[in-house]
């Protein structure tokens, strides 16, 4: 029996990301805050990604690093925090309590239980000892305002205590309390990452006291996050939302019901979901190209990617853990990859059959646009992929 639901074609989905993800030239954003708000969250596991992702989407990318640092560390309009799938994201400040209540609180509870379990199994340290160290660390951080892990360990030497992590398993190793405790306090929204040590590509951050977040009911927060996700990524399947958030399928279904999500038919025969009133067509933009960084929020936005990423390209563009590397886009499809050579020169390669002169010229223009603000910085993704390694050599 034919379906009477609205149909959402792959072409429509590609037009949506061109406009809603600020990838087409006429749809580019004015500020980094607008980029983050439009995409709901920017992946922050690799520190360089947020700057590169913003630069690819700004109408004037002359200073995306300075603009992002100002939004993160001065205006506090954006927040770097643990979020979906226990991954670090940069989110709009207004969405931080939503991410915390919908997702990170549950992660924090598991993180604390795991740390206490490992402390008990691999040392004589216990919950009372850990609580006392926490109070001391938070007091030291309040006095300093901002501090590195090493500086906090000077104030509270017990951070240097060691314990055996995951004893009796293949992951067994000796760890200091410092890293695990600061990560735990971060997931509990009691501390927040400040400026990195060194350049904007550094993964070593200072820590600062976190501003208090309002408490939200988890179900309400999950509905709010689902609404933000579908506004930027809809149509998306239940499996897409489950993968992006890391929630249980029951939570996904409750959240979709709470926002009144509308079911639509997708080209692959699966059921997608959009927000109420969001089934209309998108005006296709002019042909466009983009160079998106490793772990960019667009290719990382869905579990099922066949409508924009050919299966044949995945061996070259993904690492063994499923992390996507830098990608070249033409009209809503991934057609190749890119890397940065010493000196900050972007170099790219097409994986598809030749898309034609217009596509090559547009891609070359995007590479030049990237080079104009990136050079002489050399960016090496944290998770390296076969094509990126080859191109950057």
| Adjacent-strand bridge partners of 336 | 328, 350
CA atoms within 13 A on the CB side of 198: 7
277, two tokens: 């009133």
CATH architecture of the domain with range 106-209: Orthogonal Bundle (1.10)
Main-chain dihedrals φ then ψ at residue 30, nearest 5 degrees = -90, -25
Distance (Å, rounded) from C-alpha 211 to C-alpha 222?
Answer: 21
Per-residue pLDDT of the chain (393 residues; tens, 9 = 90+): 456 899 999 999 999 999 999 999 999 999 999 999 999 999 999 999 999 999 999 999 888 999 999 999 999 999 999 999 989 999 999 999 999 999 999 999 999 999 998 888 867 788 999 999 999 999 999 999 999 999 999 999 999 998 887 777 887 888 889 989 999 999 999 999 999 988 999 989 999 999 999 999 999 999 999 999 999 999 999 999 999 999 999 999 999 999 999 999 999 999 999 999 999 999 999 999 999 999 999 999 999 999 999 999 999 999 999 999 999 999 999 999 999 998 789 999 999 788 899 999 999 999 999 999 998 999 999 999 999 999 998
Structure tokens at 195: 């400026």
Residues sharing a CB contact under 8 Å with residue 200, sequence separation 6 or more, in sequence order: 47, 48, 51, 65, 68, 69
The pTM assigned to this predicted structure is 0.94
Helix axes 218-233, 238-245, angle to 10 degrees: 120
- Element (DSSP H or E) covering residue 362: helix 357-374
> CA–CA separation, 83 vs 146, rounded Å?
22
- Indicate the burial class of 298 (C-beta count within 10 angstroms; 0-12, 13-18, 19 or more): buried
**Domain locations in the chain?**
106-209
């Amino acid at each position: 029996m034919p379906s009477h639901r609205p149909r959402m074609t792959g072409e429509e989905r590609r037009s949506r990301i061109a406009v809603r993800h600020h990838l087409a030239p006429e749809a580019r954003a004015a500020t980094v805050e607008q980029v983050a708000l439009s995409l709901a969250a920017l992946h922050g596991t690799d520190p360089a990604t947020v700057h590169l992702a913003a630069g690819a989407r700004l109408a004037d990318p002359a200073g995306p690093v300075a603009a992002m640092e100002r939004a993160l560390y001065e205006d506090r309009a954006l927040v770097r925090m643990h979020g979906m799938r226990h991954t670090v994201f940069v989110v709009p400040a207004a969405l931080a309590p939503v991410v915390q209540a919908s997702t990170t609180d549950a992660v924090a509870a598991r993180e604390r239980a795991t740390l206490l379990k490992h402390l008990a199994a691999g040392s004589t340290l216990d919950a009372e000892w850990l609580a006392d160290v926490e109070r001391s660390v938070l007091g030291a951080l309040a006095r300093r305002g901002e501090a590195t892990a090493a500086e906090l360990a000077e104030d509270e030497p017990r951070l240097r205590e060691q314990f055996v992590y995951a004893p009796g398993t293949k992951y067994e190793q000796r760890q200091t309390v410092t890293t695990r405790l600061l990560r735990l306090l971060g997931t509990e929204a009691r501390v927040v990452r400040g400026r990195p040590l060194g350049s904007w590509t550094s993964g070593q951050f200072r820590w600062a006291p976190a501003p208090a977040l309002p408490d939200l009911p988890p179900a309400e927060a999950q509905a709010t996050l689902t609404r933000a996700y579908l506004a930027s990524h809809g149509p998306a399947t239940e499996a897409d939302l489950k993968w992006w958030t890391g929630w249980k399928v029951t939570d996904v279904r409750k959240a979709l019901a709470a926002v009144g999500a509308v079911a639509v038919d997708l080209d692959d025969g699966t059921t997608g979901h959009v927000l109420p009133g969001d089934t209309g067509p998108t005006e296709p933009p002019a042909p466009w190209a983009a160079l998106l960084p490793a772990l960019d929020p667009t290719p990382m936005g869905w579990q099922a990617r066949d409508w924009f990423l050919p299966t044949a390209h995945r061996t070259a563009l993904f690492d063994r853990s499923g992390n996507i590397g830098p990608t070249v886009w033409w009209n809503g499809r991934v057609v190749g990859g890119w890397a940065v050579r010493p000196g900050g020169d972007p170099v790219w390669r097409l994986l598809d059959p030749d898309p034609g002169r217009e596509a090559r010229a547009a891609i070359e223009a995007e590479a030049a646009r990237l080079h104009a603000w990136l050079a002489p910085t050399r960016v090496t993704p944290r998770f390296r992929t076969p094509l990126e390694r080859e191109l950057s050599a």
